[in-house]
Amino acid sequence: MSSNNVEGYLKTGLLNMWYLVARASDVADRPVGLKRLGRDIVLWRDDCGKVNVVEDVCPHRGAPLSLGRVVDGMVTCAYHGFQIRGDGTIAVVPPTPDCPLVGTQAARSYPVREFAGAIYVYFGDTLHANPPEPIFPKEVASQEWTSFLFATEWKCNWQVALDNRTDPVHGSYLHADTFTLAYGRKDAELKVEKTESGFKTWRTNQSGVNIDWHEVMFHPGNILWVTTEIPYPPSAGGGSFMINGHPTPIDAETTYVWFYRSRQLSGWQRDMWRFLYRNRLEARAFYVVEQDRMMLERIPLSARERERLIQTDIAVGRMRRLVREEALRQLQPPASSAVTAKQ
């Protein structure tokens, strides 16, 4: 397997994974067309409110289904009225009511789940038509935690955004003028420890001051999560919040960047944080994210060809290796195909 094959494959993301593709509120009463992992998909809600996802192309003449509307719970093409069910079968052909195409599987459908204010889609190959249920971290799944979902689009490759999530030291420099990350030492030595589902990274010379640790939870065939702790300064009452998420590729040049900001709070403290977040903290957090965006949109993926990494890039290197190893595994032909090729 050549290096070019692997790098080319990775530009639009790993397959056989659940990806957050949109906020739940983004899909209401009409079809929504999106590009994710280089694929055009259309999302809509049926009569029961359930989200459906199929490829965004009408099997009749190739018109985008996202330009149509929802009729009787089915996405309906604006060009000639073909109606497509959530499983990708043709349900109605108005120009030819007795058309033999009715009931045939004509559009690719995608497994979809709605959870924690978001829509997750499984992008699998032909061998993974029935995926496992997505794995969620406690900060997102537990009722003991309260969260806000942030999502936006950046003009950079998803791997550049993922590097940033596994680079704690950039907080001491890029975000040194911000409300939460203006504190602590600028020098660091990072340690990495393997875990059952990935690895943990931490600074050896400080804790709870800046971006001082993160954990990668990589479940091949299921989902990827990167968890980071962001401390509040003592002047703001201390404590911290967690960031959970990972970038979703749109195409080779664009990324859907999303994550949950979460705190484990109850009672009046929970209500107070949610109030403060909406009225003050969210704007400050957006300022930090904009600093990331402005930097990463100016770092092409090809910059890796000239990098000179240092000790504090150890987690970035580990994350890249995990992703590359999974890409290599997915690019290997199935065992049955390999046997056939030898005969």
User: Domain-by-domain residue ranges, the chain?
Assistant: 14-123, 138-327
Say whether 177 sits in a helix, a strand or coil: coil
Domain 14-123 shares a fold with domain 138-327: no
pLDDT one-digit tens code per residue, 118-136: 999 999 988 887 899 999 9
Question: What pTM was estimated for this model as a whole?
Answer: 0.94
Query: Rounded to whole angstroms, what are the CA distances from 154 to 157, 176, 292?
Result: 8, 22, 10
The answer on pLDDT for 92 being more than 60 is: yes
CA distance 201 to 191: 6
pLDDT band at 343 (very low <50, low <70, confident <90, very high): very low
Tens-place pLDDT, residues 141-197: 999 999 999 999 999 999 999 999 999 999 999 999 999 999 999 999 999 999 999
Q: Which residues contact 84 (CB under 8 A, 6 or more apart)?
A: 54, 58, 59, 65, 74, 75, 76, 77, 90, 91, 106, 107
pLDDT tens digits for 227-255?
A: 999 999 887 778 999 999 999 999 999 99
Indicate the average pLDDT of the chain. Answer: 94
Give the residue from 38, 128, 110, 135 showing the smallest Cα distance to 329: 128
Q: Domain 14-123 carries which CATH code? A: 2.102.10.10
- Domain 138-327 sits in CATH 3.90.380.10: yes
Two tokens at 48? 């029961």
Measured between alpha carbons, how far is 278 from 269 in angstroms, rounded to an integer?
14
